[in-house]
Structure 1
């Protein structure tokens, strides 16, 4: 078998950056990022989008694609330079399917033992209502689930105008459960955030909340097909 070699050489270092020396402006940005990470330490890992919006709202950084792209690069380099802990940031770029395959019988028995040790009764099983919580921003799902799981409430994410398949799956699930259903929805105050096809109780974002907290609106360019700035 022939050796595997890189197809091309670039000046950008790979893996960890041993001598990471950011410029003065970058250091100032990373200091602000560190303050955001410290503020939200109990919610780690955060997405870069979470950090972006906090920098915009609390530290006056611009809400545009250019700054967001730079932030992605700087945070990536800072993680590789061991300035930002890897477990502080969540990258949601990999999707896979779970395989419950086992090396042998002992492996399976260990798996069953762990399942038993982590048994949790479904708190909705004997309730008259079925409850779900939905959010537009996929980056919110991890933090949202940390709260909802304590009540046996499943959390879902479906940004923008979700698929017909997702709507059909929701309808089938509600019919199978055969209970009156309450869906708590967290979404943007925009067309995709307000146009829903099921009865639900909207929590955020509402017009009253926008005025009460003086929330900034998305830049016009953010309303184009790219959704990274939309939450």
Structure 2
């Protein structure tokens, strides 16, 4: 049987009128959430459902997947506007020669950062059930020096043990893990099992560190406050669940999600202390870049100005 599915780029794709209307609605969603790009396709779908463009049915999601696949193949939608949960690859580190190595050192110096959580009363981490949401969570958390971990990484046994061992390696007396997960039996069970297992590992690996877990997203209150689309729990899922309906974390508008995460982080930050760290970081970066430029030699092209790396929003 011949393969009829498109392969590679499709520059001659000519969508029908209904598909063009759908893509125009996608454009509006991407424009609305420019600061949170890339979105996952499911986040885009939920936005279209909220906008009244699509019905909340699995068939409309599947159609959107197909349409966006062709839209990216054809160049109609930018590749980097959307994120898929793809495999991780690792490339060998190599240089074209000594000059390339020196330029790399200079670039690293220009990105020099201190531990922005140093001295804070509690060390924070953000964990996301959905790997595709990690980039937009990083955009929020990175200026505060807060790491973000994804689905398979913390749902697996090694990831849970690694969390306890990270707590042991830090100087903080307390660690707080902010969790973004679905509101359904699976998401609730994941949160509970996660907290119990990491805490149990920490009894041995980090006995002097308190580890707390906080569900940031999704909660039943958020479902009500933001009028999130819901569905009944699957009858095949027998795990206990106190909720009356389910929804996914990706149903929350991306800008609202960003605001929730930012507010939660700042609630546990001494902002004056963080400002002092940022000031010291800038001074040390300037000094380091000057030293590296001297090391690089006069024939090396100059690096960019030793300005600050991204600080806090606003």
| TM superposition score category, shorter chain reference | 0.7 to 0.9
Q: Distance in 1 between matches of 2:72 and 2:43?
A: 16
* 1:64 corresponding residue in structure 2: 57
**CA separation of 1:56 and 1:142: change in aligned 2, threshold 3 A:** same
Q: Pick one of 72, 85, 105 that aligns with 1:79.
A: 72
Inter-partner Cα distance in structure 1 for 2:224 and 2:66: 34
1:46 and 2:39 correspond: yes
The Cα offsets for residues 118-150 of structure 1, whole Å up to 9 and x where unpaired, read as: 112211122232111112121221111011110
Structure with bigger helix share is 2
Kindly indicate whether residue 155 of structure 2 is the aligned counterpart of residue 142 of structure 1: no
Q: Match for residue 113 of structure 1?
A: 106
Q: What SS is found at the alignment partner of 1:96?
A: coil
How far does the alpha carbon of each residue in 1:72-105 deviate from its partner, in whole angstroms, 9 at most, with x for none? 1111111222222223222332311253333332
User: What SS does the aligned partner of 1:200 have?
Assistant: strand
Question: What displacement does 1:221 show?
Answer: 5.9
**How many pairs were matched up?**
220
- Answer with 191-200 or 25-34: which moved more: 191-200
Q: TM-score, normalised by structure 2?
A: 0.63
- The higher relative CO (CA closer than 8 Å, separation ≥ 6) is in 2
Please give the per-residue CA displacement for 1:158-191, whole angstroms capped at 9, x wherever unaligned.
Answer: 2698111111010111111142111112222223
| Secondary structure, counterpart of 1:203 in structure 2 | strand
Matched, 1:211 2:211: no
Unmatched tracts of structure 2, length 5 or more? 200-211, 238-246, 250-314
Deviations 1:24-69 (A, max 9, x none): 2212211211111111122222221221111122225233332222
Question: What residue number does 1:181 align with?
Answer: 175
C-alpha spacing 1:218/1:138, structure 2 compared with 1 (3 Å): farther
The 8 Å contact of residues 141 and 157 in structure 1, kept in 2 or not, is answered as yes
Work out whether 1:158 is the aligned partner of 2:165: no
Structure 1: unaligned runs, 5 residues or longer: 1-7
CA gap 1:212/1:230 in 2 versus in 1, 3 angstroms: closer
TM superposition shift of 1:209:
1.8
**SS of structure 1 residue aligned to 2:21:** helix
User: 1:190 aligned to 2:203?
Assistant: no
Q: What CA RMSD, in Å, does the superposition of the two structures yield over aligned residues?
A: 2.6
Q: 1:98 to 1:181 in 2, by over 3 A?
A: farther
